[in-house]
Amino acid sequence: MALWIVVLLFPVAFAAVPRVAGRSAVAAAAYRAGARLLDARTGEVFDFARRHGIAQSFIAAPAGAPAWADDRNALWNAAEAAETRKNSTVAREWLVALPAELDAEARAQLVRDLAAELVRRYGVAVDAAIHAPSERGDDRNHHAHLLTSTRTLTAEGLGAKTRILDAAKTGGAEIEHMRAWWADTVNDALEAAGSRERIDPRAKAVQGAEAAARAQEAAQEADALEALAAAPKSLSDARKGFVAAITHPRAVLAPNGAAAAQSARAEARRLSKRAARLAKPVQRHEGPQGRAVSLKIEARQQEEAIAEAEARRQRKAEADERQRKEAQQAETRRLTDEAKTPRAAQQEVAQRLNPVERSMAHWMKQAETFPTPAQPWSRPSFVFSPETVWRGIASAGVQATDMQIWEIVSSVMRRWIERITEALPAIKPGPNVWRAFTGGHIEAAQTLETLTSLEGGDPALRSPLLPAIRQHEQREFERRWQADQEAQARRAYRPDPSPKPSRRSNPKDDLEM
Which domain CATH number covers 27?
Answer: 3.30.930.30
* H or E element, residue 147: strand 142-148
The strand pair at 151-154 and 157-161 is best described as: antiparallel
Residues 192, 237, single domain; the answer is: no
Domain-embedded: residue 316: no
* 314 assigned to some structural domain: no
Please state whether beta strands 45-47 and 36-38 pair in parallel, antiparallel, or not at all (unpaired): antiparallel
Are 374 and 449 part of one and the same domain? Answer: yes
Distances from the Cα of 469 to the Cα of 231, 232, 503, angstroms = 65, 65, 58
Q: State residue 325 phi and psi, 5-degree precision.
A: -65, -40
> Could you say which of 263, 278, 293 is where a domain stops?
278
Closest residue by Cα to residue 118 from 110, 297, 142, 27: 110
Do 59 and 183 reside in the same domain of the chain? Answer: yes
Of residues 180, 220, 228, the one with CA closest to residue 201: 180
Same domain (yes/no): 149, 226: no
Q: Give per-residue pLDDT as tens, 391-416.
A: 888 887 777 788 888 889 889 999 99
Of 143, 168, 201, at which residue does a domain stop?
A: 201
Residues 165 and 253 in one domain: no
**Same domain, yes or no, for 112 and 158?**
yes
The reply to whether the predicted model has a pTM over 0.85 is no
* The pLDDT of residue 29: 95
H/E stretch holding 96 = strand 89-98
Q: How far apart are CA 3 and CA 437, in angstroms?
A: 62
In a domain, residue 408? The reply is: yes
**Residue 185 and residue 38 share a domain:** yes
Task: Confirm whether 51 is domain-assigned.
Answer: yes
Q: What's the distance, CA 333 to chain centroid? A: 51
Residues 197 and 210 reside in one and the same domain: no
Please list the rounded mean pLDDT of every run of 10 residues in the chain (513 residues). Answer: 38 81 87 93 90 93 95 96 89 91 94 96 96 75 93 94 75 85 92 85 67 76 66 56 56 61 77 72 45 60 78 85 87 75 53 73 90 87 88 80 87 91 84 85 88 78 84 80 84 64 52 43
- Which helix or strand (DSSP H or E) is residue 111 part of? helix 104-122
Total domain count, the chain: 3
Residue span of the structural domain in which 224 resides: 205-278
Distance CA 431, CA 447 (A): 18
| Domain annotation covers residue 66 | yes
What is the C-alpha separation between 373 and 438, in angstroms, rounded? 6
**Count of CB atoms within 10 A of residue 172's CB?**
12
Do residues 190 and 215 share a domain? no
Residue 415, CA distances (Å) to 42, 420, 422, 424 in order = 29, 9, 11, 14
- Residue 512 confidence (pLDDT): 46
Check whether residue 34 and residue 179 sit in a common domain: yes
Domain for residue 58, yes or no? yes
Give the number of other CB atoms < 10 A from CB of residue 468: 17
Same domain, 122 and 228: no
Could you tell me if residue 443 is inside a domain?
A: yes
Q: Where are the alpha helices (DSSP H) in 423-465?
A: 433-437, 442-451
Assess contact for 199 and 8: CB atoms under 8 A: yes
Residues 142 and 248 in one domain: no
Give residue 355's pLDDT.
Answer: 81
| Cβ pair 387, 410 in contact under 8 A | no
* Secondary structure letter of residue 509 according to DSSP: H
Q: Is residue 313 part of a domain?
A: no
